[in-house]
Structure 1
Amino acid sequence: MVENLGRIVGKLFLFILFLSCFIFLDAQVKLRALDIAGNSFQQACVGEPFMLEVEMIDIRNSMQVPTIVGLDRFVAKRTGLYMHTVNGKSMIKYSYRVRIDQPGMYEIGPAVITDHKKKQVSNVVTVAVGDQSIAKKTIPKKKEHGNTKEFLRLLVDNNNVVVGQKVPCALRFYYNNNSIELKQIGKPEISSGVIKNVEGPLSGRESIDGISYKYIEWQWDLYPSQPGKITIPAYRVDFDVRPKRAHALGSFSLLFGPNAERKRVYSNAARIQVDPLPLYDGMVQAVGDFRKIEAQIKPAVVKEGEAMVLAIELEGDGDLEAIEIPELTELPKELKYYKSNSSIIEPMDKTTLPKKRFEFIVQGIACGEWEVPQQSFTYFDVHNRSYKTLQTVPFVVTIVPQTTLSGSLPSLQQKSKKEKSRMIPANSIYPINSHGPWYPVTQREPMSWLLFGFLSSIPVGLWLYQLLWVWMTRYWCRNQLLWWRKKQAFWMARKQLKEAIDQQDVTRIYHIFVTLIANCCPESNVQISFSSIKQQLYKKGLSENIIIMWGKFFTRATEYAFMTNNKNKSSYTAFFRQAEQWINRFEAIRW
């Protein structure tokens, strides 16, 4: 009995051991590279994202996140987790979005996970990353029904620049579907540059391969901060597409499922070669294209100790925000200055460039004529790829002595002033003078009575003009300006008819004519119906035959508007033409 029991236990132990080995052998870890649409591929474009998927089958330690060897070399982010179990067989998928910014051949993997102290290792995937020349095209092909897809383009004005040079960039979203609503723009991080002057959204049209597209555009300036090849990664745009069924059903479409479909598109990436600036012995203050530098001081003649404002204006194209207030060089020791503020002056038109204005407060501490020497500004010209220096024109300021009251001040006061002036350090700003007379001011003559009467009559005249204008407006609106209302009614009817023709929406014809006739009727309490319209046409002297033709047209418009089973698209063109003829005929009637 004991021997038989031992045999049973031994067989049970062997069965459990065999089952465990089978389970461990059946455990698998797979690593795949997919494009954004979920298709397998082996080649990606620089800066454009793709997906890595780790699939784990029958892994007992399901809560452990796999480790992918070599993934930390790239820009990667885990984006999803999927779990599935069928007939006791489990499957777990981890998804990662990966971006590689340098071309070449890369091996990613394997994915490693520890399952009951046993390492499970996946395969290794090889991804070829190429430049834009071998990247996939961003212009979609036509669909079968003639419409085109939505797509995104990243445009870069210059792909070979120097450090600090402005690179104009633009992002364009192309579409032809009016049911699109933008939701979110995914902006990648650019660590090797600074983005400034963001503008948009702007709209426009562009023809590509014979197809006219609408587009929405965002513009900005990129200033690279370090040399080398930098990559502007792909941007993404999320948008909703409202189905045609939702347009047809209106508010009732909410009862039949989602009202819009969320979609996402990616742009191309861009690579820019950034060269270092050539060696230069002096100080380089900017990079760009600068035209001129000017300096002026106001006032040019002041008393000793008074302040003047020295302004330097730099005109050109570059990173004006980054240009700091310069130091004034070779200024006479009799002139003290300190920095005040700076501002950017936008151009008035497209023929001029923006300016940056620097202001200084200058104070003369000794009498005489003193020259403010020329000030220099050195920059790297991006067109000629050389260093250039702009200089201001030197000018002279005059410092006059302080004038006193009649006679000289007591010697004691003069002595105390001298002692106070000696106590002021040489490198400080002298206080503004508060003693003695200022510049003489001539007394103005009194205003004449004639001028006083004329100025007093201006507000009275304006009041009378406003009163007359209100009276005339009320009178004209009540009796004389009905023709303007009718003219606007026919203009609006033609505009709505054109929109209905473009959209092939024949249901709008009924509402167009009901609104038109309501605006043309002089009685405000008339209820628009078939019989009331017929009475109005009889009053206007139309013949019986024309009124019968109108009745047929209006009945057909009513059927199109309220009977969904009576829409024959083949007859839309003729019906739209009849609607235009009736508008022209009604406009000739004196309502």
Structure 2
Amino acid sequence: MKLKLMLWVLFTLSAVTFSTAQVKFEAKVSKKKLGVNERLRVDFEMNQDGDNFTPPDFSGFTVVGGPNQSISNSWINGKRSYAKTFSYFLAPTQRGKFTIAQAQIQIDGETYKTLPVRVEVTAAVDKPKDGNNSDYIASENLHLVAEVSKANPYLNEAITVVYKLYVSPRISVSNWNELDSPKYSDFWSQAIDMKQLKVENGTYEGEPYRYVVLRKTVLYPQKTGKLNIEPLTLSIAVDVPTNRRDIFGGRLYSTVNKTVAAGNRTINVKPLPENGKPEGFTGAVGDFDFKVKASRTELDASESLEVKVEVSGEGNLKLFDLPNLTVPSGLEQYEPEHSERVRTNLGGMEGTVTDTYTLVPQFKGKYPIPALRFSYFDVSSNSYKTITSQEVLLNVGKGPDGQRIVTSSDDTVQKQVVTQSGRQFKFIKLKTTLKEINSEPFFGSALYWTALITPLLAIPLFLFFGKKQEARKNDVVGSRVRRADKLARKYLSEAKKNLGEPKSFYIAMERALHNYLKAKLQIQTSDMSKDRIQRLLRERQVDDALVIEFVALLESCEFARYTPLSSTAMQQDYEKASRVIAAMDKQL
């Protein structure tokens, strides 16, 4: 018995402690900086009912409105949500920095106080804003920001622009669309695919905000000097809370359409240093590796091999030229095939670019392919770096001999004379054996008789199809059936176009079902009661399951007039209607 009593006391104390810990009482202001000719709104919010509310003295302000009291009490998924708010509207009495002192209230015998809030009052503004105006509240609590990773990059150095929409907890966003997109005329740009938008918590100018990343773009500046990044502009539907409540105590919202822009951003692009710039530099900026690789080094004359000139790493991989491969004269060289395996992320481009050369040796011997040099600018060390590849030596075994001649001045490359074997080239023929084409006359030819007889043979076909068309026009019942069947398909297609708009969707689908019945059962809309439809369909030997589903579709159309349905339900009804009509067509 004592054990049960102790457990009950512990449970009661923990429940009281938990409920006490959940009490929330705080002060919120419409803005923390305002002109002396503007108004300030102060809300004291609590999540549990209390007594003996005591406001601060509002030193430095005059109360021009309030206190207005509002209460919200709702149940969501079996969980009670309660909010009580005391609102005041204040007018500053002078310029300066003021503190909204602590308000206090008693909840369940305990006294709770708000934290002080600092507010700065400046000189009068040209256009004073009403702190209770919905348009002004939306403007003050909604911000579109363009975050640039680097304001003074080098030419061809990657920078990122991230567009974030900050939304204050005081408001909510119900819809948005893009009005104007930046052009990035002086940049090479690549947008990063955003699979889904994710709402995150953060701060804006020291205040708690929610934000969502709308777009990420990687830019490579192509000019030096000051470059402008054009703003992103959005049209946003903002839901702003009002002081009105519905019959259940929930706060009512007013929707305001706001146009917000990220603002122009200017970056200062630095030129690459001239001091120490290597010869043959083609504009590569980043961190790279360079290789020259041959598919094989042992082969016979007239056989082919591939030599790849490859640059890999991170940087402006698509914006520079690879070094050109030079080979001895005894090797036949074809135009290179350029390939890129590059992906772009927030850090810029990374991957591999390759030029693949096809070489064919004409004679046996040893062919050295000279080393290539690749230079790039390393941003991390602010210096140029050069990578030299290894020399590739080809050993050609079988084949005709070439005559060796004088080596190059540095004795590193030996050249060979290409001798004519008689099979590489063929001369243009100077004598021809062309013969004149004798054309027979058109009159009396096979083409002449075909053109003459074909129209005569087509006359019976025209007469046959004409009679069929005339009989089709005189078939009144058949025409009505075909017209109704066509209307059923038309309205079902209209229902598909109106998915997402319940009223238009179900009106179009009901018309389609009625026109289908007109086509198959030859009855009018005025005679279409559910009982008669079921009786007629069963008389036509239609399965009972299909009859029940068809009538259920008609009931869904009637039900949708009074109760809004979700997009999922509309999609299911559309698929069900298509399936049922297709199945009934096979049985009617």
| TM-score of the aligned structures, taking structure 1 as reference length | 0.39
More helix by share: 1
